[in-house]
Amino acid sequence: MSVTKEDILGTKPPREEVSWITGGTVWVAAMSGTDRDAFEAENLGLAALDENTGHLSNIRARLLVKCLVDENGERLFTDQDADQLGKVWCAPLDKAFAVAKRINSLSQADMEELEKKSASAPS
């Protein structure tokens, strides 16, 4: 059976509930295609500024602002909140970051591919 345009556009991203250090929970969702492209472009831009570690600058928070959602699937943060979120204690960020990487299929190979692309990008 073929899927329709409506089926494709109505696809809800997978999400996973993660316990937060305060005793509550937070939802970590897969990014939209647009958010994934923006995340990758941002990594390339930062790598062009600092070819050694620029793409790693505040990477946990930059990914999590795109992935942390409420129970309705609405983002909790805007991209501009990454610096503020990055100041949160690292343990809960690491836990949510691990889920965000997995649910978005961001493997170590993906990160290495971003590094290769950034190394070949003009500075």
Structural domain boundaries in the chain? 16-117
Residue with tokens 């793409």: 55
User: Structure pTM?
Assistant: 0.79
Query: What architecture (CATH level 2) is domain 16-117?
Result: 2-Layer Sandwich (3.30)
pLDDT in the model for residue 56: 73
Judge contact between 106 and 59, C-beta under 8 A: no
E strand or H helix at 48: helix 33-49
Q: How far is CA 2 from CA 7, 14, 71, in A?
A: 10, 21, 30
The pLDDT tens digits along the chain (123 residues) read: 899 999 999 999 999 999 998 889 999 999 999 999 998 888 887 766 656 555 677 899 999 999 999 999 999 999 999 999 999 999 999 999 999 999 999 876 665 665 555 455 544
Tokens standing for residue 120: 């070949």
> Cα(115)–Cα(37) distance, rounded to whole angstroms?
15
Going by C-alpha positions, the residue among 31, 43, 54, 35 that lies closest to residue 110 is 43
pLDDT in the model for residue 36: 92
pLDDT in the model for residue 93: 95
pLDDT in the model for residue 45: 76
User: Roughly how many angstroms between the first and final C-alpha of the chain, as a whole number?
Assistant: 48
